Structure 1
Amino acid sequence: MNQDDLFIAEDNPQKQIVIVAMTGHMLLDFAGPADVFNCANRALELRGRTDGYRVLVASPNANKQVTNSAGIEITCTYSVMEVSGPIDTLLIAGSNDVQNLDDPAYQDFYHWLSAVDQHTRRVGSVCAGAFALAKAGLLNGKRATTHWDRSRQLQKNYPLIQVDPNPFYTRDGKIYTSGGVSSGIDLALALVEEDHGKEIAMQVARRLVFYLNRPGFQVQFGNLLPVYDHQNIAEKIRSWMIGHLHEPLDVVRLADHMNMSPRNFTRVFHKQTGIPPAKYVEKLRVEAARKYLEDTDSSLEEIAERCGLGGLVSMRRTFLRHLMVTPSDYRRAFRTSLADVIT
């Protein structure tokens, strides 16, 4: 194999971007960022510039084959360990099944990854790729994000990381992490803007019909409350609470429904759920209001009353606290698909 094919010469103005596709990924995990960098090349070429990117999609294993979550077999031209450098930016597109990351076939990759940041300007991850960075020790003591549904697991498995499930992407020094799937596009656009300025990044975003800075936070896409085991006290009382959200739901009433003393109910509830009853009730009200905003044309006043969120001011304040968005903005972003285009 010609080694000149594996890296860019030192005097080449292009920055080499290497995207590692882990088995079990979604195609958008690596295809989204790759398209951003390739579109940036086009925008730069139109200005007569040659200082764009060379984009390589590589495998983490020696056989150069990975399988995506839809069962599509992908044969990469290179294994990432064959790319001898210089790598400007390394992105790890993560697996949907983080258990795949423990595959013994990845051990050489993790050994290589643990030292790569010494020779690479930027190292980042897309979605569950954060688990690979964490396994290689690159996230210890750093702020990071991942898909909102994996954030608790990342924090539990790697307690030295400051996991923030809210942003679409984060930066801590030379380490960049992004959230769920399409957030890799957000991150790639930010990297293009960092390299070539807002105007080039904006051209790419427009071409992809995407926001340069997408409004909102990951928390708006996730569930405020986890699914508890059916034996959990929260699950035992959840259905009854949903039917009475428009009524006062203080601890005394909740405990009475469960035939428990308020003190014992509060103790058991907090122990089994990790949160006090009042906070659970508030989150349940917000979850119910979200559904009404997504699926109905009910007025904000009706929804606030139906879900026990008080008036408009109170509901707005509660939404901002939990979802970082107002109810009206949430409705515009998440209302039922095609609701505004069907005639």
Structure 2
Amino acid sequence: MKKTIGLLLFPDFQIIDMAVVAVFETANSLPGGPYYELTVLSELGGPVRSSSGVAVLTERFGAPAFDTIMVAGSSEATPPMPPFTAFLREASQASRRTASICAGAFQLAEAGLIDGRRVTTHWAMARELQRLYPKARVEEDRIYIEDERIWSSAGMTACIDLSLALVEADYGVELARAVARKMVVYHRRTGGQSQFSALLELEPKSDRIQNALSYAKRNLRKALSVDELADAATLSRRQFTRAFRLETGQSPAKAVETLRVEAARTMIEEGNHAIDVVAREVGFDDPERMRRAFIRAYGMPPQAIKRAARAGAESAT
């Protein structure tokens, strides 16, 4: 039996959030499908204009019961919309689960659906969400969060990660992987993964420096000397060192440490690995060196991050 999904739109919604439609459409095209029946809804029905100017045709709010209610986001926090809030509250009560994308979390909050719950949104709006709705437990550096029947995601392309996670919860990991492959999603991110990327933050401007950083990320267990990275960039040591600092503002050693810390944090938050195992896997010489790097990056040791991740997982069960 197909699962029904109601996607709620409002004026000036973010058009990229319609990517969730592609996830469920792709699932329906795979063997055993169709798996989902999706309805796009709005208060008045008809075309709803996105912030980009592109309009999407919708049906008017009606019967509230769906398997899943999803709320689209926007590029900024949207003021309360009483009719929208009332339908969302009713639909959430009548449906099995409710999910928000990006600033859609503000709509869930206005409907009273995230009091006492873990929730995320786009990193740029997270503190505002926490300020306006202090009863929510906002985690600003997550791709998506599941707290019982309430799901929420970060902004932009995180809606794809959220939708793939919903597919996995409904029909298993193999179908979710098949959808990701067909959509040419290079890496299906887990909910606990950071919204930030060390490679993105470094912002290399040339392909050669990007190649060196990508090589480093694939080979973190190795020593990764400057000479090795220079070879990956097909530059001399002197040319590489000068170009690297000009493009990233960091030394190669500092950038590699940043990549190692990011990889270590992901392992700690998503698995049950011992700290010394994590240190070895990401290329730190010993746990103490990793501890010092974590304090420089996050202001806390890896053990504290591990405890926080465990506490979050326990509160979600």
- Shorter chain as denominator, the TM-score bin is 0.5 to 0.7
What's the offset of the Cα at 1:63? 4.5
Contact map agreement 1:148 1:166 (CA 8 A) in 2: yes
What's the offset of the Cα at 1:73? 2.7
| Equivalent residue number for residue 57 of structure 2 | 75
What's the offset of the Cα at 1:294? 6.6
How many equivalent pairs are there?
227
| Equivalent residue number for residue 188 of structure 2 | 212
Structure 1 residues 301 and 153, CA, compared in 2 at 3 Å: closer, same or farther?
Answer: closer
Contact map agreement 1:165 1:219 (CA 8 A) in 2: no
- Radius of gyration: which is bigger? 1
For residues 198-218 of structure 1, give each alpha carbon's deviation from its aligned partner in whole angstroms, at most 9, with x where no partner exists.
111000011112222358401
| Equivalent residue number for residue 38 of structure 2 | 55
Tell whether 2:134 aligns with 1:162.
no
For residues 102-149 of structure 1, give each alpha carbon's deviation from its aligned partner in whole angstroms, at most 9, with x where no partner exists.
3xxx32221121222221011000000000000111111111000000
For residues 257-286 of structure 1, give each alpha carbon's deviation from its aligned partner in whole angstroms, at most 9, with x where no partner exists.
xxxxxxxxxxxxxxxxxxxxxxxxxxxxxx
What's the offset of the Cα at 1:319? 6.1
Q: Report % sequence identity.
A: 31
Tell whether 2:293 aligns with 1:316.
yes
| Equivalent residue number for residue 14 of structure 1 | 2
Cα distance in 2 for partners of 1:319, 1:32 equals 37
| Equivalent residue number for residue 22 of structure 2 | 35
Structure 1 residues 154 and 301, CA, compared in 2 at 3 Å: closer, same or farther?
Answer: closer
Q: Gapped runs of 5+ residues in structure 1?
A: 1-12, 225-290, 305-310, 326-343
Cα distance in 2 for partners of 1:301, 1:97 equals 34
Contact map agreement 1:32 1:184 (CA 8 A) in 2: yes
Contact map agreement 2:245 2:252 (CA 8 A) in 1: no
Cα distance in 1 for partners of 2:151, 2:170 equals 14
For residues 16-66 of structure 1, give each alpha carbon's deviation from its aligned partner in whole angstroms, at most 9, with x where no partner exists.
11111222222111x2111111111111xx2xx24500112222x215332
Cα distance in 2 for partners of 1:302, 1:141 equals 38
What's the offset of the Cα at 1:302? 8.8
What's the offset of the Cα at 1:322? 6.4
CA RMSD of aligned residues (A): 3.2
| Equivalent residue number for residue 299 of structure 1 | 252
3-state SS in 2 of match to 1:123: strand
Cα distance in 2 for partners of 1:193, 1:69 equals 30
For residues 299-337 of structure 1, give each alpha carbon's deviation from its aligned partner in whole angstroms, at most 9, with x where no partner exists.
215998xxxxxx994773346526999xxxxxxxxxxxx
Cα distance in 2 for partners of 1:160, 1:108 equals 23
3-state SS in 2 of match to 1:204: helix
1:64 paired residue among 41, 46, 49: 46
Q: Gapped runs of 5+ residues in structure 2?
A: 202-243, 258-283, 303-317
